[in-house]
């Protein structure tokens, strides 16, 4: 059972994790230590999922995850449009995968230096290692894509949008979709508009009209689609980027 008491603001409200992260970035090292201690089970869980086996505090993968969690604390920004734990999960995964790749390369080089192994055995071992590593990376990519989709689904829900609703509100014509994508891209490139979207959970339509040539009616008709595309940009959902790339007209 975690006995760490929740941190409260001056007004007496319980601080969100993201607010605590910003306090740490402003120099609260005692809070950093509390957060890292509090989220050690989270770090172990992510490391175990990446490695597909139980990881405890004595293993190198856990140490890598611990450093990565601290790195995530330092690098997190509210402009990313995603929750801190989602961002931390991604950083931990990347660092552990980098570590596994490095270890795989080291193991390969060590094996090839052994004098008692014949060339055929070396070649077979190398091919097996490469095939295993490729399969592992493919599985990690699939897992990362699924987790990003789930995180994106949760983020959309905060704006009252579901995948079913989004499919119904997707513009039918390519030119209309491309126009909506451009509006979304322009929105996220302007900090004040992106901040409005994140705080109000609504499009800043009045402000958008100052930068686009389409009508208010067009923006309102494609409102949910524009928000959905903007959130992919803001959330850094790299696995979903193909869905917002320009489409070619046959």
Count up the domains in the chain and report the number: 2
Residue 8 pairs in a beta bridge with: 14
d(CA 194, CA 203): 9
d(CA 238, CA 22): 24
Q: Which of 110, 128, 157 is the last residue of a domain?
A: 157
Q: What pLDDT does residue 24 have?
A: 94
Residue 3, in any domain of the structure? no
One domain for residues 149 and 185: no
d(CA 219, CA 225): 10
Could you report the per-residue pLDDT of 110-158, keeping only the tens digit for each?
443 444 444 444 444 455 555 555 665 666 677 777 888 888 899 999 9
The first and second tokens of residue 8, run together, are 């409260």
**Cβ–Cβ < 8 Å for 156, 166:** yes
Q: What pLDDT does residue 169 have?
A: 87
Could you report the per-residue pLDDT of 31-71, keeping only the tens digit for each?
999 999 999 999 999 999 888 888 888 899 999 999 999 99
Q: Which of 93, 123, 157 is the last residue of a domain?
A: 157
Residue 12, in any domain of the structure? no
Most confident of 10-24, 106-120, 129-143, 232-246: 232-246
Would the pTM of this model clear 0.75, i.e. be above it? no
Measured at the alpha carbon of residue 9, what is the angle toward residues 158 and 66, in degrees to the nearest 5?
70
Residue 209, in any domain of the structure? yes
Q: Which domain holds residue 170?
A: 163-244
One domain for residues 62 and 148: yes
**Cβ–Cβ < 8 Å for 35, 23:** no
Neighbouring C-beta atoms of residue 53, cutoff 10 Å: 10
One domain for residues 76 and 141: yes
One domain for residues 223 and 197: yes
Q: Which of 157, 183, 213 is the last residue of a domain?
A: 157
One domain for residues 43 and 127: yes
One domain for residues 167 and 120: no
d(CA 221, CA 242): 23
One domain for residues 216 and 184: yes
176's CB contacts (< 8 A; 6+ apart) are 222
* Alpha-carbon dihedral 197, 179, 86, 46, rounded to 10 degrees: 170
């Amino acid at each position: 059972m975690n006995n760490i008491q929740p941190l409260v603001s001056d007004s007496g409200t319980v601080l969100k994790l993201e607010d605590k992260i910003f306090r740490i970035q402003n120099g609260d090292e005692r809070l950093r230590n509390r957060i890292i201690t509090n989220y050690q089970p989270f770090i172990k869980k992510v490391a175990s999922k990446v490695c597909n086996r139980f990881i405890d505090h004595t293993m190198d993968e856990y140490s890598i995850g611990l450093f990565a969690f601290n790195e995530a604390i330092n690098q997190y920004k509210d402009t990313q449009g995603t929750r801190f734990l989602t961002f931390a999960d991604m950083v931990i995964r990347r660092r552990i995968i980098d570590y596994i790749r490095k270890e795989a390369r080291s193991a390969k080089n060590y094996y090839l230096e052994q004098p008692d192994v014949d060339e055929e055995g070396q070649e077979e071992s190398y091919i097996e290692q490469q095939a295993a590593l490729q399969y592992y990376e493919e599985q990690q990519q699939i897992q990362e894509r699924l987790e990003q989709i789930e995180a994106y689904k949760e983020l959309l829900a905060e704006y009252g949008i579901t995948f079913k609703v989004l499919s119904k509100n997707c513009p039918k014509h390519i030119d209309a979709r491309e126009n909506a994508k451009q509006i979304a891209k322009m929105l996220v490139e302007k900090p004040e508009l992106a901040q409005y979207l994140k705080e109000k959970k609504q499009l800043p339509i009045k402000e958008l009209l100052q930068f686009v040539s389409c009508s208010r009616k067009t923006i309102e008709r494609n409102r949910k689609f524009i928000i959905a595309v903007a959130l992919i940009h803001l959330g850094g959902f790299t696995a979903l980027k193909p869905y917002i790339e320009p489409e070619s007209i046959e």
